[in-house]
């Protein structure tokens, strides 16, 4: 009885070994599949096969065919169309916060004005106190940042105002927008473009102190200026560093 059981076990074991060997041979044979000239190796539905243009195909396996450079169109294989390269549209400096107009370089505001940031005083409290006795020091944790500009008007109108008091803003890493209305730091030293806002004729240039904001100390190293006209969503960005 025990001898019969042993023989049966031996037979089962031999059968399993033979089955595994056959599977291994089949797998090895499939992995060395040779395709005729004009055909391409493919792996469709987990099986190695040979593919060529015009061969019947299944619309359920687009990724399998694409891997071999084909697309299944109307039930037949066709060469996959070439990938379309994404065309990058060149944008001028100042069109985004990540690409501001460099400090000291002119930026076009899009309304006939070209502005250049000519100076940045990162801690302007002493200068402001000297400009007007009514100016006071900034709140604790803040410091006054003042910028000076040179601006030229060459627009279609005979004359224009730059109006920095309502169009010049600043923002840093804390993403708080500073403006004259919310963060005014006092009367600026002369020439004071913020208060004077001179009328400028076509071809004319003005220069002076244009804006000042009371800025959180942690925002100062990352501060940027942006121009935004009232009722407009367009911003022109300027580096202050």
Sheet strands (E) in the chain: 40-44, 47-51, 70-73, 76-79, 106-108, 113-121, 142-153, 159-160, 168-171, 200-201, 205-216, 224-227, 236-239
- 199 — phi, psi (to 5°)? -70, 130
More confident residue, 111 or 23: 111
Domains and CATH numbers, the chain: 37-83 (no CATH), 106-239 (2.60.40)
**Contact in structure between 55 and 77 (CB atoms under 8 Å):** yes
Report the candidate in 166, 152, 147 with the shortest Cα–Cα distance to residue 114. 152
Please give the pLDDT value at position 20: 34
% residues pLDDT > 70 (the chain): 84
For the chain, the helix, strand and coil percentages under 3-state DSSP, each to the nearest 5: 25, 30, 45
**pLDDT value at 62 more than 50:** yes
What average pLDDT does this structure show over 30-43?
A: 78
Six-digit token string for 45: 């539905």
Please give the pLDDT value at position 32: 61
**pLDDT value at 106 more than 70:** yes
**pLDDT value at 124 more than 50:** yes
Residue position matching structure tokens 């010049």:
168
Give dist(CA 151, CA 138) in Å, integer. Answer: 28
User: Do you find a cis peptide bond into 191, omega within 30 degrees of 0?
Assistant: yes
Please give the pLDDT value at position 87: 66
Six-digit token string for 73: 């169109």
When pLDDT is cut at 50, 70 and 90, the band that residue 17 belongs to is very low
When pLDDT is cut at 50, 70 and 90, the band that residue 12 belongs to is very low
100 contact partners, CB below 8 Å, separation of at least 6: 93, 94, 224, 237, 238, 239
What average pLDDT does this structure show over 205-224?
A: 96
Please give the pLDDT value at position 197: 93
Q: Is 223 exposed, middle or buried (0-12, 13-18, 19+ CB in 10 A)?
A: buried
User: What pLDDT digit, counting tens, does each position of 71-103 carry?
Assistant: 898 889 898 887 666 666 778 899 999 999 999
């Amino acid at each position: 009885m025990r001898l019969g059981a042993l023989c049966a076990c031996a037979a089962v074991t031999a059968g399993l070994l033979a089955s595994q060997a056959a599977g291994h041979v089949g797998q090895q044979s499939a992995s060395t599949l040779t395709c005729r000239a004009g055909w391409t190796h493919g792996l469709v539905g987990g099986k190695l096969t040979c593919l060529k243009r015009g061969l019947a195909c299944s619309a359920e396996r687009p990724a399998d065919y694409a891997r071999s450079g084909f697309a299944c169109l109307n039930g037949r294989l066709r060469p996959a169309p070439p990938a379309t390269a994404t065309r990058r549209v060149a944008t001028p400096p100042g069109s985004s916060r990540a690409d501001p107009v460099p400090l000291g370089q002119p930026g076009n505001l899009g309304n006939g004005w070209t502005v250049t940031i000519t100076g940045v005083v990162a801690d302007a409290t002493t200068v402001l106190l000297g400009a007007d006795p009514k100016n006071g020091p900034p709140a604790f944790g803040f410091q006054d940042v003042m910028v000076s500009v040179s601006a030229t008007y060459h627009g279609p109108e005979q004359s224009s105002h730059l109006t920095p008091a309502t169009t010049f803003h600043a923002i840093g890493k804390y993403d708080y927008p500073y403006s004259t209305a919310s963060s005014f730091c006092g009367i600026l030293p002369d020439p004071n473009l913020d208060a004077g806002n001179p009328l400028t004729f076509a071809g004319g240039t003005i220069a002076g102190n244009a804006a000042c904001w009371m800025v959180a100390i942690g925002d100062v190293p990352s501060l940027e200026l942006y121009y935004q006209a009232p009722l407009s969503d367009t911003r022109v960005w300027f580096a202050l560093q």
